[in-house]
A and B are shown apart, each in its own frame.
Chain A
Amino acid sequence: MLRRASMLLACRPILAARARPFSTDLPAAPSADATFTEAWTKVIPNMDPPKTPLSFMQPRPPTPSSIPSKLTVNFVLPYASELATKEVDMVIVPATTGQMGVLPGHVATIAELKPGVLSVHEGSEMTKYFISSGFVFIHANSFADIIAVEAVPLDRLDVNLVQKGLAEFTSKLSSATTDLEKAEAQIGIDVHSALNSALTG
């Protein structure tokens, strides 16, 4: 019991200290949280309401009136945040409609990605990654969020394995019987041909 009390005492000041800077920065968010918190306290008065993701996130800056000079990129994967709020000049993303270049001041967009090459241009240097599919959100305040499932730098890819994989999936497609097998084989072909063109092109 004493341990629980001491844990609570440890929890409360930490949470109180953290909650204050966020609630002042994000004017819109607390209203949604507030409706939830009120509804909760009415129905379940004995328990503290659970926290929501908004209280754990840094707020995003509002849309500036003039186009900023740099694009801020967040490139996240399930296993790591490759780039976190990195300021770059341009990124080229492999959207389903083709390669899309994103500059600061780009119109707000939601785009789905297909397997392909993502290149990040910062000054004179360019970093390329091969990504499996994902999504890209471009916000009006020149923030770009790229979420992919897997991303590898191009020098980690082996040409021979790519050719082998492509041949394997082409044969699988020709021998596929059910729709599911055909779809899986088609996906394999798409990814491998994208890999191929990334390595050669």
Chain B
Amino acid sequence: MAMAALRREGRRLAPLISPRTITAVRSSPLYPTLEDEGPLGVRHISTQVVRNRMKSVKNIQKITKAMKMVAASKLRAIQTKTENSRGLWQPFTALLGDLPSADVKKNVVVTISSDKGLCGGINSTSVKISKGLHKLNSGPEKETKYVILGEKAKAQLVRDSKKDIELIITELQKNPLNYTQVSVLADEILKNVEYDALRIVFNKFQSVVSFVPTVSTVLSTEIVEREAESGGKLGDLDSYEVEGGETKGEILQNLAEFQFSCTMFNAVLENACSEQGARMSAMDSSSRNAGDMLDRLTLTYNRTRQASITTELIEIISGASALEG
């Protein structure tokens, strides 16, 4: 049995000292003794699998790093626009206040989301808030409809609230965002959807790592008048003189529509900023994760490689000592 073992060792020894190994050494300068040659020079342990995984993980890391850079540059571009537009909705809130708890019959929830994925959890948060608002405003004679901007919210809401969806708008960011585009959108929504209150759900951009889900409420003229008459927050609205136009109602109608387009513009910009910021942090953690995985794989690879070298050495030495002795 020992002779059989030695014969086995002998057979394995021959290819080791064959000229093929020398070519293998020349062909791969980095890892000279690691090539799996195929049927003749079969090592015990194969590092091919680990090496393939390492290559693919490294590629993924490069891709995610590149995506992070792209998101960072897009964020820079859109962040200045967003900060400039922040003054736009403040006069409306100063005048009309904000009444998210107003009791209305026809609610419309405008959910703003992104078209592309890989941006963390912001779209799911928006959808959850929208569904929460739907639940909050449910009751006898009350209805809530959805207007969806963006593919991601559409995918989530179509699944269980299909009958409540009024309008779906996608490919918002094909051209750079500007006020004209958003006001046309707002016009479409106002024309096609009956509403008492419009609730815009979006992610407000606080900083590159922090996005706050926010809901802005725009009330229709009738509800504004009702709230003004009943006193409370909008009580002093009547003290404002309304200039121009034939009737006060006409001006207030224009005001409500203008308020909606301005709040939409700000909301869309803020959401776009949040999307890029969330994508940056998602891609960053993904690259970091890939880096960790690569480290672990490198350790496994080195261990495997060293184990195979050690086994080779043992074979050679035991073979040699068997020949001598």
**A111 at the binding interface (Cβ < 8 Å):** yes
Q: Which of B97, B236, B251 meets A112, CB within 8 Å?
A: B251
CB pair B84 A80 closer than 8 Å: yes
* B236 cross-chain contacts in A, Cβ below 8 A: 108, 140
* B93 cross-chain contacts in A, Cβ below 8 A: 53-54, 57
**B95 at the binding interface (Cβ < 8 Å):** yes
**A14 at the binding interface (Cβ < 8 Å):** yes
Q: Which of A56, A78, A96, A134 meets B244, CB within 8 Å?
A: A96
CA distance A70 to B278 in the complex (A): 44
CA distance A26 to B209 in the complex (A): 28
Chain B, Cβ-Cβ closest to A58: B90
CB pair A7 B209 closer than 8 Å: yes
CA distance A3 to B205 in the complex (A): 18
Interface positions of B from 68 to 116, Cβ below 8 Å from A: 81, 84-95, 97-101
* A78 cross-chain contacts in B, Cβ below 8 A: 85, 88, 179, 262, 265
CA distance A109 to B110 in the complex (A): 30
CA distance A15 to B207 in the complex (A): 11
CA distance A94 to B245 in the complex (A): 14
* A36 cross-chain contacts in B, Cβ below 8 A: 100-101
Q: Write out, one digit per residue, whether chain A residues 57-83 have a CB within 8 A of any chain B CB (1) or not (0).
A: 110100000000000001011111100
Given A29-B98, A100-B243, CB of A47 within 8 Å of CB of B129? yes
**B233 at the binding interface (Cβ < 8 Å):** yes
CB pair B204 A51 closer than 8 Å: yes
How near does chain A come to B311, taking the closest CB pair, in angstroms?
39
CA distance A44 to B239 in the complex (A): 38
Chain B, interface residues (CB within 8 Å), range:
35 or more
Chain B, Cβ-Cβ closest to A134: B258
What is the predominant secondary structure among interface residues of chain A facing chain B?
mixed
**B299 at the binding interface (Cβ < 8 Å):** no
CB pair B243 A96 closer than 8 Å: yes
Chain A, Cβ-Cβ closest to B252: A110
**B226 at the binding interface (Cβ < 8 Å):** no
CB pair A14 B206 closer than 8 Å: yes
Interface positions of A from 81 to 100, Cβ below 8 Å from B: 81, 84, 95-97, 100
CB pair A11 B244 closer than 8 Å: no
* B95 cross-chain contacts in A, Cβ below 8 A: 110, 137, 139, 145
Q: Which of A28, A32, A79, A111 meets B84, CB within 8 Å?
A: A79
Q: Write out, one digit per residue, whether chain B residues 122-157 have a CB within 8 A of any chain A CB (1) or not (0).
A: 000000110010011000000000000000000000
Q: Which of A50, A52, A112, A134 meets B245, CB within 8 Å?
A: A112
Interface positions of B from 223 to 275, Cβ below 8 Å from A: 233, 236, 239-245, 251-252, 254-255, 258, 262-263, 265
CB pair A50 B179 closer than 8 Å: no
- Among A4, A44, A53, A110, chain B packs the most CB atoms within 10 A around the CB of A53
List residues of A whose CB falls within 8 A of some B CB: 3-4, 7, 10-11, 14-15, 28-29, 32-33, 35-36, 39-40, 43-44, 47, 50-54, 56-58, 60, 74, 76-81, 84, 95-97, 100, 107-112, 134-135, 137, 139-140, 143, 145, 147, 149
19 contacts between A and B (CB under 8 A): A3-B281, A11-B210, A32-B99, A39-B101, A44-B135, A47-B128, A47-B132, A50-B129, A51-B213, A52-B217, A77-B88, A78-B179, A95-B243, A110-B243, A110-B252, A110-B255, A112-B245, A135-B255, A140-B236
Further pairs besides A112-B255, A140-B239: 15, Cβ < 8 Å: A7-B210, A43-B132, A44-B132, A44-B136, A51-B214, A53-B214, A74-B91, A76-B90, A79-B85, A96-B244, A145-B94, A147-B88, A147-B91, A147-B92, A149-B179
